[in-house]
Structure 1
Amino acid sequence: MLGRVAGGIFWMYRYLERAENTARLLAAGHRMTLTRGEDEASQEWRSILTTLGQLADYEKYHEGYAGAQVCDFVLRSRNNPQSVLSMFERARSNARACRSAITREVWEAINEGWMTLRDLLARPVRVTNLDAVLGAIRRESTLARGATHGSMLRNETYSFARAGTFLERADNTARILDVKYYLLLPSIAYVGTVLDTGQWDNVLRSVSAERAYSWLNAGRMDARSIAEFLILDERFPRSLMFCHLAMRENLAALARFHRREGMAHEALARADGMLSGKRVEDIFEQGLHEFILEFIGCNAAIGNAISEEYRFVS
Structure 2
Amino acid sequence: MLSRTAENLFWMARYMERAESTARLLTMGQRMAILPGATMRDEWRSVAQVTDCEEVFGKDAVIREADVVEHLILNPDNPSSIRSCLAMARQNGKSVRTALTQEMWESLNEGWRKLETYGVVEARRDFAELVDWVKNRAMMFRGATESGHLRNEGHDFLRTGGALERAQMTLRLLDVKYYVLLPETEVIGGHRDHYQWTSVLHALSGSRAYHHVYGGSYTPAQITDFIMLNRQFPRSVLYCFDQLAYRLQRLAHWHGQRTPANLRSEEMVETLSGADSGDIFRKGLHETIQGKLAQCNALGVEIAEAYHFG
TM-score by length of 1: 0.91
TM-superposed deviation, 1:218: 2.2
* Aligned residues with identical type, % of pairs: 36
Alignment match of 1:139 (pick from 136, 139, 142): 136
TM-superposed deviation, 1:180: 1.8
User: Match of 1:259?
Assistant: 256
TM-superposed deviation, 1:115: 3.1
User: Match of 2:110?
Assistant: 112
Report matched runs for 1:48-63 at 5 Å.
48-59=47-58, 63=61
TM-score by length of 2: 0.92
TM-superposed deviation, 1:96: 0.7
Counterpart CA distance in 2 for 1:219 and 1:105 is 40
Report the secondary structure of 2:58's partner residue.
Answer: helix
User: Which shows bigger deviation, 30-39 or 201-210?
Assistant: 30-39
Deviation sequence 1:185-207 (CA, Å, 0-9, x none): 48748963333222211111121
Change (3 A) 1:301 1:106: same
Alignment match of 2:269 (pick from 258, 264, 272): 272
User: Match of 1:210?
Assistant: 207
Letter in 1 for 2:7: G
Counterpart CA distance in 2 for 1:125 and 1:161 is 34
Q: Does 1:161 align with 2:158?
A: yes
Report the secondary structure of 1:149's partner residue.
Answer: helix
Counterpart CA distance in 2 for 1:116 and 1:77 is 13
Counterpart CA distance in 2 for 1:38 and 1:246 is 37
User: Match of 1:20?
Assistant: 20
User: Which shows bigger deviation, 27-36 or 255-264?
Assistant: 27-36
Q: Does 1:296 align with 2:278?
A: no
TM-superposed deviation, 1:113: 4.2
Counterpart CA distance in 1 for 2:286 and 2:182 is 15
Report the secondary structure of 1:64's partner residue.
Answer: coil
Counterpart CA distance in 1 for 2:133 and 2:120 is 15
Report the secondary structure of 2:150's partner residue.
Answer: coil
Counterpart CA distance in 1 for 2:76 and 2:182 is 32
User: Match of 2:85?
Assistant: 87
Counterpart CA distance in 2 for 1:256 and 1:185 is 43
Counterpart CA distance in 1 for 2:253 and 2:49 is 40
Q: Is the 8 A contact 1:274 1:295 kept in 2?
A: no
The count of residues paired between Structure 1 and Structure 2 equals 309
Deviation sequence 1:27-84 (CA, Å, 0-9, x none): 12212223334624x6111111111111112339x94222122212210124523211
Counterpart CA distance in 2 for 1:196 and 1:123 is 31
For structure 1, list consecutive stretches of 5 or more residues without a partner in the other structure.
Answer: none
Change (3 A) 1:147 1:122: farther
Report the secondary structure of 2:12's partner residue.
Answer: helix
User: Match of 1:192?
Assistant: 189
User: Match of 1:311?
Assistant: 308
TM-superposed deviation, 1:135: 0.7
User: Match of 2:72?
Assistant: 74
Deviation sequence 1:100-156 (CA, Å, 0-9, x none): 22222211210114133444x466544321001111111111111111111110001
Report the secondary structure of 1:280's partner residue.
Answer: coil
User: Which shows bigger deviation, 104-113 or 84-93?
Assistant: 104-113
User: Match of 1:3?
Assistant: 3
Counterpart CA distance in 1 for 2:278 and 2:35 is 33
Change (3 A) 1:36 1:285: closer
Q: Is the 8 A contact 1:24 1:206 kept in 2?
A: yes
Report the secondary structure of 1:261's partner residue.
Answer: coil
Q: Is the 8 A contact 1:109 1:143 kept in 2?
A: yes
Change (3 A) 1:312 1:92: same
Aligned CA RMSD, in angstroms, stands at: 2.1
Q: Is the 8 A contact 1:255 1:261 kept in 2?
A: yes
Counterpart CA distance in 2 for 1:108 and 1:13 is 15
User: Match of 2:39?
Assistant: 39
Counterpart CA distance in 2 for 1:126 and 1:137 is 13
Change (3 A) 1:189 1:218: closer
Deviation sequence 1:157-201 (CA, Å, 0-9, x none): 1000000001110111111111122x3248748963333222211
